[in-house]
Structure 1
Amino acid sequence: MEKADCILIVDDDPEIRRLLVDYLARNGFEAHAARDGREMWRELERHAVDLIVLDLMLPDTDGLSLCRDLRAKPGHGNIPVLMLTARGEDTDRIIGIEMGADDYLVKPFNPRELLARIKMILRRTRALPPNLRPEPARCLGFAGWCLDTATRVLTAPDGVVTPLSGGEYRLLRIFLDHPNRVLNRDQLTEMIHGREAEPYDRAIDVQVSRLRQRLRDDSREPMLIKTVRGEGYVLASSIEVRDSCA
């Protein structure tokens, strides 16, 4: 029998924790809950968690700091994060994406929408579209950089290994599979998140900016991921398929 996906709910509201754990269990998931950051880390040691639903506001710390720490922690850095926020302001969503969240949902929300978002995130982290599906031991070289698509390791021209969040990896793969082609925000949003962009949604701009930082690309005069004013972004580099990044 196939093992159920394990979801960890991190929220200080006991009613929300109970409701979501019960709802996810009824829909075929293994679900656990934590009320704060300390309990989250304990649960991560106890269970092989496939996705974290993380509230922005917690009593001992905030969800943004936890998400940032999670991305930097060996063994847990690739766990997808769905951020919950009580406010629908762009700033909260943008900062969440900056810290490495894979998606966000504004409270109050319908549990069915949460379930749909969880399934969507798990699908896209495990089964990329055919044009983005990693091939065994396939390495993509560009502008001195190299991405190993089997291990998702990005190596800089000076040999330094650069960590990528799940969102950063997917965005880089999209650019590498469409080099020297202008991609607008709606196209990038659809390919990354599987949904239409909301009006004035700047999440893609934030993710591009974050990826530029990883690639040491000057945001004022980017040479690798260039902005095409009024149209979108383009990866200005040729791509070389290699046997390894060594």
Structure 2
Amino acid sequence: MHEEDYMKQPLAYIHPEAKIAPNVVIEPFVTIDKNVEIGEGTRIGSNVTILEGARIGKNCNIFPGAVISAIPQDLKFKGEETLAIIGDNTTIREFVTVNRGTKSKGQTVVGSNCLLMAYVHVAHDCIIGDHVILVNNVQVAGEVKIDDWAIVGGMSAIHQFVHIGCHTMIAGGSLVSKDVPPYVKAGREPISYAGVNSIGLRRRSFTNEQIRDIQDIYRFMFQKGLNNSQAIERIEAELPASNERDEIILFVKNSQRGIIKGYYNSENKE
């Protein structure tokens, strides 16, 4: 930073090796460690702590009390040099914590144009896409992947290694222990399929035809009594090829934890 920038922040501690772009607003009682980079136009609220390894993009807004790039809460971590990366135009509300990575992936990533509401925790080595919303007090365990445009309701807990697909909507208070495929709504206990996220898809300019095709795919996956292999075989044989179809099939085939089940009630306990 330039000397005049220091003069504007007499109550903040900024390590002399931190790289702070022009037009960054740093409020009182902020701590910024060495090996930190912050892009232009970002605002850092009071009492924010930004530790070694943080890479924060342009035009972000980080609210008071947040802690970015603290070391992982992982006993296997041995002090290796890793990163916590925040994309451009992302808002991080009060008391959010984003831990940096371990040697597993080397970095934790939160994409651009995201909103992390108050008290969200993002653990080590998570990869969160663009336009993701994590509502108040969502707790994300290590090495979770959340794809673009996903919305996770407040008070939800996401198990380590879970993969949440793009354009999903997860109900508040969910315990997410299985992978959630793209374009769906998920909720209930245990977490299960609750339909296609048609409202969200329309807001993002998906056509009615695209939405109907997605609904047809998930009828095979969740409503015909088929296992995943049988469903994929029928989908490939009977439904037209599309980007959405191929993305859903690839997601299911690559799932490491298994995908959520269909609607769970007293007559359907599989």
Q: TM-score, normalization: structure 2?
A: 0.25
| Greater RCO, CA 8 A, separation 6+ | 1
Instruction: Report which of the two has the higher share of helix.
Output: 1
More strand by proportion, 1 or 2? 2
